[in-house]
Structure 1
């Protein structure tokens, strides 16, 4: 007789496992511990075999019968359902191993060591927040262009158009890595070129007029926050390095007696040398008394970590400056580049090398940290003296510092 739900519920465990049958080879096995497991007994190639169909009550009587019937259809077509199940499990494991997230994290692990930490953090955050929740678990070879577009539209819809373009770029990089490693046949994100509205790129806000720079410098000197942030504000215009490089600076890289700072540029992965003016050395010497025993020149609240990346811009806002339209920590670079060339007449190639930009001369010489070093040492001191004159209210007429 066929089983009923009542009979199954009333089946009690015994000292030994026993079976109650439902027909067509299916039975329910009740173990001494009370477990109830569906089994199918069948023969294939003259051998008797067993196939597990699940456990009750997770698999109901109705579902167990459906699984039994599916297995019997395979048998009718000459397929061993036990072997077929192992094949399907292996395929599922393979698909999981080649999911978008698995491939993306593998690509990221290979690329991240060559990137600046801040850039790597942004890339993985975009993938984790905007891509993995929707595409992460899917086999990368099965993802289509419309699937990727749906992800981009979600980002675009919240008004983050620039982020949408960067997500598109990162997806393309992952797909191309999947192609190179034999897990995808093409980059479907390439089909989406032009699908997003163009991003409006803007430059970092910067003050480049000498009179306004003078006001800014006086405001920086009047900052009432912590001494560490105050020093970072005062050094920003003097050194005009990238904000991330300044806030994560290590004392081991400074030679205050030799008036030099040597470090590895985060963006170009090249060694860089910053000549220190007497004004910069003075600020650093004062700061060394407070943080010199620490790893970072500008430690954060947790002294084991550097100052927050938002600290300088937050300080500028406290001083009344709009960091979207007037000045940012990065804007000190544009300020120096503009005035050093237009007001102090320093050659562009000298300025660009001090900015740690990749500059090839007419002989194709690659960037190196000591190129134009004598000119750069002189330029950094002239620049610091010029800023002092501006701050003191001295005339700001153009000066030929060549």
Structure 2
């Protein structure tokens, strides 16, 4: 039998060799110095020889290796093959809802923005895995998943409950596709949750109030980059995340274009933003301050990171616009409304510039340069209109369309 000191002092040789402990167990010492515990036995019923690993030294001590060996010998005495038992346990562990969900998330996270992917995983870790994560995905039932969703619903997070049901459905369909479940049981949960109350991002659309907002931004007393971010938000009406993570490498100021790569877009398609003369001038003014770094709007504390996701809304609050009046996302609704109902631009031009899923008559998605000449004119007209509203002259009334 081996002693702890003999195991500790086992030195590598040019060829692998064994140090036998007895009852089928031995230490395999490899030329690279690795020391592996091994267990040789004959399979119950067939008598065929098989070898299992008991772990590596020093992670697995001599005492622990012997305990595992003795446990497996008891299984063999009862007619159970320890190798088959361990294989079954591994398969079962790989087929739990949590294992399948993490596999699905790792496979498809690249198709989502980084923030979106993190939010999905966080919902699973907080609201799902603690309750059904260890259960075999193929044995989950609609009532079992509903009980998890009810917990979320009970705290008033109705929208989160619906998003979680959708996420669970994608995992279940992945499990079906990979042969680990027979059906997506979440399909039976349609209508089982309370209907969420639609929430819209607060936005100013009245021309006079837009003028007030533009004057407030012009007189903003915070930092220059934040004031520029507020102006660029109004001029380009991109999503807040696309704005705050803007990189100088994406801009061609000579061409007056901002090319946002697909990985930063919600729809995962590259997006082209024509820049008005006002937007181009603003960026040229900002360049001496932040142009040496990666981000157009770097963080206040760490210039290697983008501006915080609360900065724009905090600036709006500082200027006196509460959360029920205007939000960073509200610049999009403001532009959509006024460009359509006030300035009369074609809805498909506007929707395309908003990076929404606009499609051609044949069903294909428009490419990034579709209607570019018209969109260039629209973006310049929008910037000029904001200047007019800011100065408080020639306000264009919005004519509401008949419903």
TM-score normalised over the length of structure 1: 0.77
Larger radius of gyration: 1
Q: How far, CA to CA, are the matches of 1:334 and 1:194 in structure 2?
A: 30
Aligned residue number for residue 114 of structure 1: 111
Matches within 5 A, 1:58-207: 80-81=77-78, 83-207=80-204
Distance 1:84 1:191, change over 3 A: farther
Aligned residue number for residue 268 of structure 2: 269
Relative to structure 2, which stretch is displaced further, 117-126 or 265-274? 265-274
Structure 1 position 137, deviation (Å): 2.3
**Is the CA contact 1:263–1:272 (under 8 Å) kept in the aligned structure 2?**
yes
Q: How far, CA to CA, are the matches of 1:175 and 1:93 in structure 2?
A: 20
Aligned residue number for residue 351 of structure 1: 350
Aligned residue number for residue 395 of structure 2: 396
TM-score normalised over the length of structure 2: 0.77
Q: How far, CA to CA, are the matches of 2:366 and 2:215 in structure 1?
A: 35
Aligned length: 340
Task: Tell me the alpha carbon deviations over residues 196-227 of structure 1, each in whole angstroms, 9 at most, x when there is no partner.
Answer: 11112222111111011111111122222222
Structure 1 position 358, deviation (Å): 2.3
**Is the CA contact 2:207–2:397 (under 8 Å) kept in the aligned structure 1?**
no
Q: Give yes or no for the alignment of 1:256 onto 2:253.
A: yes
Q: How far, CA to CA, are the matches of 1:196 and 1:277 in structure 2?
A: 46
Q: How far, CA to CA, are the matches of 1:258 and 1:146 in structure 2?
A: 57
Q: How far, CA to CA, are the matches of 1:358 and 1:158 in structure 2?
A: 33
**Is the CA contact 1:235–1:280 (under 8 Å) kept in the aligned structure 2?**
yes
**Match 1:229 to one of 209, 216, 226:** 226
Distance 1:141 1:366, change over 3 A: closer
Task: Tell me the alpha carbon deviations over residues 12-60 of structure 1, each in whole angstroms, 9 at most, x when there is no partner.
Answer: xxxxxxxxxxxxxxxxx9xxxxxxxxxxxxxx88x9xxxxxxxxxx9xx
Q: How far, CA to CA, are the matches of 2:356 and 2:164 in structure 1?
A: 26
Q: How far, CA to CA, are the matches of 2:272 and 2:395 in structure 1?
A: 29
Q: Give yes or no for the alignment of 1:371 onto 2:367.
A: no
Relative to structure 2, which stretch is displaced further, 391-400 or 335-344? 391-400
**Partner SS state of residue 161, structure 2:** helix
Q: How far, CA to CA, are the matches of 2:163 and 2:86 in structure 1?
A: 36
**Is the CA contact 1:130–1:155 (under 8 Å) kept in the aligned structure 2?**
yes
Structure 1 position 365, deviation (Å): 5.1
Aligned residue number for residue 240 of structure 1: 237
Aligned residue number for residue 13 of structure 1: none
Structure 1 position 193, deviation (Å): 2.1
Q: Give yes or no for the alignment of 1:303 onto 2:300.
A: no
Q: How far, CA to CA, are the matches of 1:314 and 1:82 in structure 2?
A: 69
Structure 1 position 249, deviation (Å): 0.9
Structure 1 position 377, deviation (Å): 1.2
**Partner SS state of residue 83, structure 1:** coil
Q: Give yes or no for the alignment of 1:210 onto 2:207.
A: yes
Runs of 5+ unmatched residues, structure 1: 1-28, 30-43, 48-57, 59-66
Aligned residue number for residue 29 of structure 2: none
**Partner SS state of residue 313, structure 2:** helix
**Partner SS state of residue 207, structure 1:** coil
**Is the CA contact 2:338–2:398 (under 8 Å) kept in the aligned structure 1?**
no
Aligned residue number for residue 379 of structure 2: 380
Q: What is the root-mean-square deviation of aligned Cα atoms in Å?
A: 3.2
Structure 1 position 398, deviation (Å): 4.7
Aligned residue number for residue 288 of structure 1: 287
Structure 1 position 159, deviation (Å): 1.0
Distance 1:340 1:304, change over 3 A: same
Distance 1:399 1:277, change over 3 A: farther
Structure 1 position 155, deviation (Å): 0.9
Q: How far, CA to CA, are the matches of 2:363 and 2:98 in structure 1?
A: 41
**Partner SS state of residue 342, structure 1:** helix
Runs of 5+ unmatched residues, structure 2: 1-22, 24-43, 48-63, 65-70
